Each structure stands twice: as C-alpha cells, then as structure tokens.
Structure 1
Amino acid sequence: MPHFAIGASDFLLDGRPFRIVSGALHYFRVHPDAWADRIEKARLMGLNTIETYVPWNAHSPRPGVFDTSGMLDLERFLREVAAAGLYAIVRPGPYICAEWDNGGLPAWLFQEAGTEVRRYEPKFMAAVTQYLQDVLDIVRPLQIDQGGPVLLVQVENEYGAFGNDGTYLKAIAETIRGAGITVPLATVDQPIDAMLEAGGLDGVLRTGSFGSRVGERLATLRRHQPAGPLMCMEFWDGWFDNWGGPHHTTSVAETAAELDALLAAGASVNIYMFHGGTNFGLTSGANDKGIYQPTVTSYDYDAPLDEAGNPTEKFHAFREVISRYADVPDAVPLPSGRTAPEFTAQLAEPIGLLAAAPGAWSEHEAMPTLDLLDARVAIFRTELRGGGPALLSFGEVRDRVQVFLDGAPVGVLERERRERAIMLPHSRGRLELVVEDQGRVNYGPRIGEPKGLIGPIRLGADELTGWSACAIDLDRLPRLWDAAGCTPAALVPGPAVWRATFELDGPSDLFLRSDVWGKGIAWLNGFNLGRYWSRGPQWTLYVPSPVVRSGTNTLVVLELDTLPTTTATFAGAADLGPTEL
C-alpha cells in the first residue's frame, strides 16, 4: 500500500517528496449528484487533493444520531475523490467555523448545565469522543495506507484563536489516533505567534491560514515549525457575504500572484475555497463582534468554481500558476455556452402561518428558548388583559421577532439593530410573536448562545407569563396544502406560505430571483433552497439541477414579511449583488 509521511522538509509519498496542491470542497454544500463534476474540475485545474470539513451538527442534529444520508454521505464523497485519482484531507473539527451554523457544534451540546465546549471537560469530551469515533469509522478504511485517498486528518480548527487548553488539544489528537487514524495529523492557525503557540501540538504538523503577505506568514509559521513541510491549510482566495453588506470579490491578478509566491516558496497549499457551494436549508452561520451579521445562503466565495460549478477567470489564472510548478491535464473545462431557463410562475393559494401553525404546541409559564423547542422558527401566544398603550420589551432578541396583536401586525424587532422594545397600541387581546433564528454565530465567544426571545419579557413593568408555543415544522410547509384544516385564502395578514407549479422539459440548474420579495425561505420539489432577503446582497437562489424534474415542478415560498408580487421569476444566471454599497 502507498505510504504518506512528514519528512524533514517535505511531505513524502512512498519516500519521495510530494507537494499537496489541494482545494476545499465541502460535500455538505453541494448536491451529491454534482460531486463528481466538481471533483473532476478540481483535477483539471491541476489540484491533486480535495479537502473537506465535517459538520458535526449536520450529522448529529440530536444526541445519539449520526446521519450519513444524502448530502451527508462522507464515504461516497471520499470514494468519488479516489475515483478521480485525487487524494483527500479530512478536517472533522469538532469545531469547523466555515461560516456554518454554530461553527459545526450541535446546539444540544449547550443545553446541559456545566458543559464547556472546546475544553477538557467530561461532558464535552464524552460527546466529542463519540462524534469523532463515528466520523473516523468512515475515514479509517479510506486512509492512503489502506488503499484509500486520505493523506491527512486535522486536529481541531484554529484553536489558537479560541483557547489554550493544551490538555484538551492533546486529548483530541489522542482520540483521533485511538480511532485508528495512522496518516499524519495537522493543526491550523492564523500565522500569529500567540495563536500558533496556543493552537499547536508537539509531534503534530502546524499549518497556517492566510491569503496574503505570503513571505511574512511563512516565516512566522517556520519559527513555530522548525522542520517539516510548510503548508497553508487555508489559502483564502475570496470571502463570504453577510445580509445587508456587499458581495465580496478579490482581485484575480493579486490572488494568483499570492498563490504563485506560496508555491515558489516550496509550500503546499489548500485553496479555500476551490468551490464554495451553497448553504442550503438553514445552515448558514453568523458573526457577532458587537453587531450581529448573519451569513447569506450563497457560499460562492468568489472561488475558482462559482456557486453553480462553472469555471471563473480565477480558475484559469490559478491553473496557469499551478502549471509552473506541476503538470496539469491538457483538458480544460469548457464553458457551457448557455444560460439557465428564464421563465415565470405565479404563486397562489396562500396559507397563513399564524392560522395553520404547522408544528407541535406546548404550554410554558415562562418564555422558552428556540433551543428548548428544537425550532428555528416559532410562534408564541399569550393573552393580554390590560387596556391602553403599553411598552413590550425583551432582554434580547435573537434574532428577529414579528409582533401581532389580535392578528394585526404591530412591528418587527431585529437583533442587528439592537432593538429590544416596541410600543403596542393597546394592551388587551391576543399577542402573537413570530420568532426567527437567522443563523448561529460561528466564530468568537457568542458561539452556542441560546436563540429566541431572551428574558425578561415585560409589558410595561410587569413580566409576561403563560405562553403557548408552536415550533414550526419547516419540513411540513411544502406539504401544507394536503393537511387537514389548512385552507388557502385570498389575502393573508402576516407570514404566509405560497406555492406555484411550472413545467420543464428536463432537469437544469435554475436561479430563482428573490430581490422583489421580502424575507423568507424557498423550497423546490421539497428541497430547501435556503433563506432569501430583500436586504441583499444576494438576489438569486441557486437551484441545483438534480432537484429539478422533467414535467411538473412545485415551488413553495414562506414569506415572513410582505410579498409585493406573486410572480416567481427564474433568471438566466446568478446575481449575488453589488460589490460596493
């Protein structure tokens, strides 16, 4: 069997120097039927390796569960990498950041008192040991020394930016080794002395994450890694977007020059991202460094392959740079030469969310968190028995609440605007609150915080109690018209679910325009495309061709705000918004 090792100055493949030229491709952000296409295009750009994170919370949405179906089939993904003749790097965390909800950490971890994540703490270590065992049971037989593609496994992720618990970091490495991983291990940190010191382990290769000032960053890394190969585990070639901000792009020429400098220095590289893909469903994360900023649905990242898997100018520039240092295939991916189908469909038959309330109702004396309800969207109701106008206030809104009084909209409070109070026109009648989790923070000290309306919740000076809560079952929304008691109406106040049908001759990538709508979530044929918001910058939702059918297709939209037009428009190409505001 092949043997991969860390030498005095190089990686060694069967005893010979080997340079890793890798690209990040997250299986959980790409439809499985598109994996082979994206992997083949990586090979054609000159890459010899594919890197992926593993999202713990996606695989384990509840304790005791480890799901590997559909987009979570890590084994299938790694076997497709091998089938293309490429190697693989696996980064299982347990924390991944990745602009992914909660940085990949399951929300249920934080609900048991005393649990300290990313620390050598018994409750967390028990959970993470089981998780790593589950992941590495898949990876173990796919290591290079067992005939598989996996060259490297990473220990934690940028731990030096979080803590300095060396006992914990060592325990993670030992757990990985104890699970039968025999290939080399690596850590990654930004090339800052304190981070490399706190996040590194003796006997484990240190690597860096950066996208510029290559010479300076490699020199810093070398001070902390006197021997062994130099590697940039995350060569940032683009950036992600937040709702309300610009669409980020980077200079092709400047980024290619930095890649050239990295390879000229003899370093190995993992390009982050080679292909970003999409935060389908409600998987995108958020940042909060004083201001909460949720991440958009697209994870295009201005990568060499765009969100739909098409080569960009950056693809060809990177391929040319790589060709100076390694052989690249003669073939080059050809542009498709066609646009996606352009057409419209009419949304109709709206069903009011407040009336239908698809989900389980429960009674609570005090306001429960969304975590307690295991919900991303929920409705809360209580009866007010006052009289005149009154101030409704919350300790904190995480992340958005729409306020209704006797079915009539009163207003919206948003975390981004640090809003915590609203004046009610009167304080008698049915108070309803629609609360939305817009994405959990994925970096920094606010990871894992509870979601929902954080108390105390007061009407004037009095705390409100006696709540009915409904955790909205989002999976039921595309089938709502089949449910008993769900009757479409001509006009629906507040959030509503709409549907449209249309015919197509065959599967094709589609781009659903969302800039003319308000704020919500869309599904096509039951597949959750993700969030949309008129705040931008993202104006289209990507629809992968494998979810599109020949014949009749059904689009379902949950509009939380207002639907200014009931026309659903499909565009010929993606529109990720302005690069300047």
Structure 2
Amino acid sequence: MDMHSAFGFRLSLRQRYLLLLVAVGLVIYHFSRSRPELRRMPRVEGLRADSSHFTLEGKPLRILGGSIHYFRVPRPYWEDRLLKLKACGLNTLTTYVPWNLHEPERGVFNFEDELDLEAYLHLAARLGLWVILRPGPYICAEWDLGGLPSWLLRDPNMKLRTTYPGYTQAVNSFFDKLLKKVVPHQYSKGGPIIAFQVENEYGSYAKDEAFMSFMKEALLSRGITELLLTSDGERGVVRGGVKGVLKTLNFQKLNVSNVRYLEEIQPQKPKMVMEYWTGWFDLWGELHHVYSAEEMTRVVKEILELDMSINLYMFHGGTNFGFMNGALAVKLPAPKPMVTSYDYDAPLSEAGDYTPKYHLLRNLFSLYHTQPLPELPALQERKAYQPLVIQQHMSLWDSLHLTDKPFKSERPVNMENLPVNNNNGQSYGYTLYETIITSGGTLDSRNNVRDRALVFVDKHFVGVLDYKTQELALPEGKEKRTLSLLVENSGRVNFGDTLDDQRKGLVGDIELNKQVLRDFIIHSLSMKPGFVNRLEKSGPWVSVRPSFPSFFKAKLHVSTVPKDTFIKLPTWGKGVVFINGRNLGRYWSIGPQQTLYLPATWLHSGNNQVIVFEEQETDGKIQFSSIPDYGMPVDAQ
C-alpha cells in the first residue's frame, strides 16, 4: 500500500514532506518525554560579560549562586539540598571538582556513585539551576592537599601549581578525562554550565607567571566555550588573573574600596563576589566558628545594592567524610588539621536543616524575583538511637595480617613513596613503622613525624611524637625489643606556599641516643572499605579487657526506616568510625566537634556494622543524638 491509496487521495510532494516532518516530530516528542536529555537544544548566546551586567541570551542576568559540593553530600541527598538552594531564591549552583577522588591512582579514574559529576549536572539542569563549574585542578576547599592527588608527591622535585612538566603532564591527563565528560553539559550544547573558573585563588600563590595562561589554554583546547573567570581574595585579584578572563572577588567583610578597585582594573565588566563566606571552618583543638546571621545578611544586602552578582560559599557545607579534611598552614608550631564536619555555619546545616541565615536570605532574595519562591522542601527526620555497648575488640597488632604485605626498608619511607596501591603510594590513614632496639634512652624524631605518632615498645605505649614533642624517653632494657611508631596523616595543608612539602608518615631519619635507626618493617594502614569488611568478618575478635590501639565492633539495629542521626563518643579519645564499611570520619576528644553526622542513606533496616578504631582510651559506649554538637562557639570575625 502506498501513500496515495492509504489516504484515498493524491498528495503533492510538499504535502508528503510536511506529513513526514509531523511524523518525525511526534517520534522525537515521544522519546523526549521519557528521556529528558533529548530535550536539550543548542542555545544562541551564553553568559556574556561585555558590559556592566551579565547577559544570557542577550538579556540581563544577576547570578545568585550557592556552593554545594557533591563530594561532601551523600548522593541520595543531592536533590534535597539543591531543591532547598532553589527555594532560597538562588538560580546558580557552584561546585568544585576533587581531582584526588576522581583519580586516586595515576591513570585510574572514578566518576561513579558519589562521584558521578554528570549525574549532578543532569540534576541541576532538571531542577532549573545554572552551574558554575570550578574544576581546579587545585581547589583549596579545606580539602586534603587542596584536592591534588598525593601521588604527585612521589616526584621529589614536584612543583605543584606551576608549569613544572611533571605537574602539567598530570593535569593534562586528568583534564583529558574530566572535560570530555563536562563539555556536553555546557550551556551552548543545551546543558546547565554557564561559566568555568580557571584554577583557584592563584593570586595567593603566584609562583609561575606562565601558569595561568597554561590553565586557560587547558580549558579552551578541550572544547570549553563558556565564560571563563578567576576567583581571588582582595589582595590577589590582579596576580591571579589572566588576560581575557573575568576577575571576581572572595571575601566576608565588604570593603567598598576593593570593589572600586575591581571596577578600575576591569571597567565596564560585571562585578561578582565568587565566594562570599557565610561562615568559617573549624580546627581540632580550637573553638567552633560562627558568623552572625544578621551581619551576614546585611553584607549580602549591601553587595546586591552595589549591583553585584554573588555566590554564597558555602550555601551547604556538608561533611569531610573519611580522611579528606585539609589542614591550615601556620608557621609555628605546626599545621592545624580541619575537623570532620564542614557545617561551616552555612545557611543550610550539615544535615540539611534550615538555619536563621537561610530564612533571612530567602526573604532577601525573594525581592529579586517577580514570581513567588518555591515552597520549602520538608526536612529529613532524625532519631537518637539507643546507646550501644561494645562487646568485642581486636588489637591493631592482630589486624595486621589483613593489610597489604609489609614493606622492608633500611630507612623510613614516607607514605606517598611506599610501594603500595599499584606503586601510587599511600594517600591517607595511618602507617606503622617498626624496628628493633637493644637499649632505652632518648628517642628523637628530628621533626620528621608527619603528623602525629603513637610510640610503643613491645606494644606498650610510651608516648606521642608530633610537631611540638620531638623527644621521648624510652624504658631501659638490653634485650631486643620492637619499637613501633603508628604515624597518622592528620590532613595535608590545603592552602598556602607549603603544598610541595606535604609528604606524610616518617619523612626522614629518627634517632635513639643520637644513633640513626635502621631496618624498618612498614605496614600501610589506609583503612579502605575492603580492609574494614575483611576485619569485620575475620578474627580474632575477643571480649577481654582491650589493649590499645584497637578496633571495636558493634551492631546498630534499625527496626524501621533508617533516620539521620549523630554519633557521640564522650568517653573515647581519638580515632575513626566506620559504618557498614564506610569511613564516617575522625573524632577527637579535644574538640570542638563532639558528634559525627551519620546520614540515614548509609544505614539499612536490620543490623548495621559499626567499627570504631580507637587509639588510646574508651569505656566502650557509643551514644546517638538527634542534634549536632560542634563545641563552644566563637565569632568567626
């Protein structure tokens, strides 16, 4: 049957052509209903900075942005957090990209599950949010080594954030993989990304005049066509810039003279605060930083009245799960590691709660919308589960058979240069160094412990070596005894000019009575999920009085649908908590943080595996709370 007989009349060529177009259109519509990504259509004109205002499709656009890092939020909660961002009146999502998670070993990439960046971009697009992507490769972010992978430090001559060939080659390899995934999500191709940041706060570093040009070309040569911008503190805005790229500012306190200076060096360009700091981060051993909601809102209002675009850093901080916290670089006496929580005193709390800052900002941003803002999404339920009592433990020494084969070396070897992880070295966790001694006396670290070592003689605790304490008295004895140093990487510095010097473990010789110690057996204790699961299923777990350090095991029974909660360990000293094989993060009795956020999505109905690695003390009780405890507050200003 031909088209003539099918319709009972004769169709002209023009009519046939029109009928075919209608049929094709119906097919496309059918598939686009079930596959939203097919609805993408190329746009004509993306974000432009050709006048004093941003324009998108030739129409004025004020960027009202907020930072939420996908890698700090459990994936099932991404949509909840982004909906709350949109309901606050924001139109743009910003996020960093953590190189050290996406390429944990050289040439081995991970963009799955919690690290599925493309899924995050798809979600932003579906929710009607624009995206400013900050791909680094250096991100700072209070994140270990500022997001750079530790295997870079295997090169003894490495010069990070410069055009040193060993660094640029690694960046090129990573960007080849990353940007291939990102390019299709650009605005010009129907995606949500309207701008890209070139590196990050280079004005505070600026060791290589050619570096920012290299970074700009690294983006352009791989198909990035959207607006490029740089982001710097007030003093680095010029040194961190690069020709043809829009400069933006980072600050917490508004200094109008800095805004005027930006106008002078960048006339007839949009003004933007890329990072308006809504709070601040916390350090172990200090107080919990807070920033007045009223003061924050007042400054945001002033920024908007200056006709500037803004991005709130952070809008929702999330959590430094695992060993991923960074450290603050201070000259003396030592770097100070960040805590596990990255609540940041942000408008949306670590667990996704609305704060007074959120409600004040929502009221303010509503004035910049012609339509009512979306209704507030419901909050996640929380529960304080019944306390657990630990009944079994396994000493560190009894767990060593579950780790990788130990490495023998005449001299100490730093973590990054250990022959583990396919010769990429050890990135995070603890490293155990053991050697034989035949006398007591004075043990001198020569300041080669990075960052903190528990010292044992024949498994008996002697003391702690760190940046402050570099000598210990060892008990006398002429027989052969085993000296053990359990060294923790507490977090690499994420900002400043000491990035090249962030190797961990024992980074040089140690001495006993002025004699250099030799012949070490080195155990890598990175405590990855595979090790934790082997630990849970293996023996010997015992119930007698524990020695330290030890792993402690318990079961959390969830009888109904799991709820968010906070773990509280008031009688424990220092260590790490694992839930169903996942590393929840570090705890430390010195505070300020006293609870660890446990998202419901990491639990399941029935029995949940809880393992705690404790260094020195506990009565074995694990408590739960429905509210966090971040310690005594202090004004971030």
- TM-score category, normalised to shorter length: over 0.9
Contact 1:234 1:270 in 2 (8 A): yes
CA positional deviation for 1:517 = 1.1
Instruction: Label 1:458 to 1:140 Cα distance change in 2 as closer, same or farther (>3 A).
Output: same
Contact 1:189 1:209 in 2 (8 A): yes
Q: Provide, for residues 267-324 of structure 1, a one-character-per-residue CA deviation record: whole Å limited to 9, x for no partner.
A: 1111000000000010000012123210000000011100001111100111111122
What are the residue-to-residue correspondences of 1:42-53 with 2, within 5 Å? 42-53=85-96
The equivalent of 2:239 in structure 1 is 198
Instruction: Label 1:447 to 1:329 Cα distance change in 2 as closer, same or farther (>3 A).
Output: farther
Contact 1:506 1:551 in 2 (8 A): no
* Paired residue secondary structure (1:201): coil
CA distance in structure 1 between the partners assigned to 2:207 and 2:164 by the alignment: 14
The equivalent of 2:349 in structure 1 is 306
* Paired residue secondary structure (2:434): strand
The equivalent of 1:528 in structure 2 is 583
The counterpart of 1:353, out of the listed 379, 382, 396, is 396
Structure of larger gyration radius = 2
Instruction: Label 1:425 to 1:327 Cα distance change in 2 as closer, same or farther (>3 A).
Output: farther
CA distance in structure 2 between the partners assigned to 1:119 and 1:336 by the alignment: 45
Q: Is 1:438 the equivalent of 2:479? A: no
The equivalent of 1:507 in structure 2 is 562
* 1:463 alignment partner AA: V
CA positional deviation for 1:330 = 3.7
What are the residue-to-residue correspondences of 1:265-304 with 2, within 5 Å? 265-290=306-331, 291-304=334-347
Q: Is 1:137 the equivalent of 2:180? A: yes
CA positional deviation for 1:515 = 3.2
* 1:511 alignment partner AA: F
The equivalent of 1:423 in structure 2 is 473
CA distance in structure 1 between the partners assigned to 2:509 and 2:371 by the alignment: 61
Identity of aligned residues (%): 37
CA distance in structure 2 between the partners assigned to 1:502 and 1:164 by the alignment: 51
CA positional deviation for 1:456 = 2.3
What are the residue-to-residue correspondences of 1:20-419 with 2, within 5 Å? 20-192=63-235, 195-290=236-331, 291-327=334-370, 329-333=372-376, 336=379, 339-357=382-400, 358-360=402-404, 361-373=406-418, 374-375=425-426, 376-386=429-439, 388-415=440-467, 418-419=468-469
TM-score, with structure 1 as normaliser: 0.96
Instruction: Label 1:64 to 1:427 Cα distance change in 2 as closer, same or farther (>3 A).
Output: farther
Contact 1:389 1:427 in 2 (8 A): no
CA positional deviation for 1:367 = 0.7
Q: Provide, for residues 430-450 of structure 1, a one-character-per-residue CA deviation record: whole Å limited to 9, x for no partner.
A: 111111000000011221421
The equivalent of 2:6 in structure 1 is none
CA positional deviation for 1:104 = 0.7
Instruction: Label 1:484 to 1:221 Cα distance change in 2 as closer, same or farther (>3 A).
Output: same
Instruction: Label 1:462 to 1:38 Cα distance change in 2 as closer, same or farther (>3 A).
Output: same
CA positional deviation for 1:487 = 3.9
CA distance in structure 2 between the partners assigned to 1:430 and 1:384 by the alignment: 6
CA distance in structure 2 between the partners assigned to 1:501 and 1:401 by the alignment: 30
Contact 2:442 2:471 in 1 (8 A): no
The equivalent of 1:543 in structure 2 is 598
CA distance in structure 2 between the partners assigned to 1:515 and 1:214 by the alignment: 43
* Paired residue secondary structure (1:241): coil
CA positional deviation for 1:110 = 1.8
CA positional deviation for 1:482 = 5.1
CA distance in structure 1 between the partners assigned to 2:357 and 2:83 by the alignment: 17
Instruction: Label 1:6 to 1:398 Cα distance change in 2 as closer, same or farther (>3 A).
Output: same
Q: Provide, for residues 385-437 of structure 1, a one-character-per-residue CA deviation record: whole Å limited to 9, x for no partner.
A: 23x4343433332111001111111011233xx22111101254111111100
CA distance in structure 2 between the partners assigned to 1:328 and 1:134 by the alignment: 40
CA distance in structure 2 between the partners assigned to 1:24 and 1:41 by the alignment: 12
CA distance in structure 2 between the partners assigned to 1:485 and 1:244 by the alignment: 35
CA positional deviation for 1:225 = 1.5
* Paired residue secondary structure (1:199): coil
CA positional deviation for 1:339 = 4.3
Q: Is 1:574 the equivalent of 2:628? A: yes
* Paired residue secondary structure (1:530): strand
* Paired residue secondary structure (2:557): strand
The equivalent of 1:457 in structure 2 is 510
The counterpart of 1:498, out of the listed 540, 552, 555, is 552
Q: Provide, for residues 219-252 of structure 1, a one-character-per-residue CA deviation record: whole Å limited to 9, x for no partner.
A: 1222222221101000011000000111111011
Contact 1:275 1:304 in 2 (8 A): yes
CA distance in structure 2 between the partners assigned to 1:328 and 1:274 by the alignment: 22
RMSD, aligned α-carbons:
1.7
CA distance in structure 2 between the partners assigned to 1:344 and 1:120 by the alignment: 54
* Paired residue secondary structure (2:171): helix
CA distance in structure 2 between the partners assigned to 1:554 and 1:341 by the alignment: 17
CA positional deviation for 1:510 = 1.1
CA positional deviation for 1:174 = 0.8
The counterpart of 2:527, out of the listed 474, 477, 488, is 474
CA positional deviation for 1:479 = 2.4
CA distance in structure 2 between the partners assigned to 1:30 and 1:100 by the alignment: 14
Contact 2:571 2:621 in 1 (8 A): no
* Paired residue secondary structure (1:262): helix
CA distance in structure 2 between the partners assigned to 1:420 and 1:337 by the alignment: 47
CA distance in structure 2 between the partners assigned to 1:264 and 1:185 by the alignment: 25
Instruction: Label 1:337 to 1:143 Cα distance change in 2 as closer, same or farther (>3 A).
Output: closer
Q: Provide, for residues 319-372 of structure 1, a one-character-per-residue CA deviation record: whole Å limited to 9, x for no partner.
A: 111122234644442664964233211222100012322312110000111112
CA distance in structure 2 between the partners assigned to 1:180 and 1:391 by the alignment: 56
CA distance in structure 1 between the partners assigned to 2:431 and 2:592 by the alignment: 26
* Paired residue secondary structure (2:174): helix
Contact 2:380 2:564 in 1 (8 A): no
CA distance in structure 2 between the partners assigned to 1:540 and 1:12 by the alignment: 45
Contact 1:214 1:262 in 2 (8 A): no
Consecutive unaligned residues of structure 2, counting only runs of 5 or more, are 1-41, 419-424
Number of corresponding residues: 575
CA distance in structure 2 between the partners assigned to 1:78 and 1:400 by the alignment: 39
Contact 1:46 1:327 in 2 (8 A): no
Q: Provide, for residues 186-230 of structure 1, a one-character-per-residue CA deviation record: whole Å limited to 9, x for no partner.
A: 0111122xx222111121000010111242331122222222110
The equivalent of 2:32 in structure 1 is none
Which shows bigger deviation, 172-181 or 128-137? 128-137
CA positional deviation for 1:473 = 4.2
Which shows bigger deviation, 484-493 or 232-241? 484-493
CA distance in structure 1 between the partners assigned to 2:127 and 2:211 by the alignment: 37
The runs of 4+ residues in structure 1 deviating greater than 6 Å are none
CA distance in structure 2 between the partners assigned to 1:282 and 1:332 by the alignment: 37
* 1:238 alignment partner AA: G
CA distance in structure 1 between the partners assigned to 2:632 and 2:539 by the alignment: 43
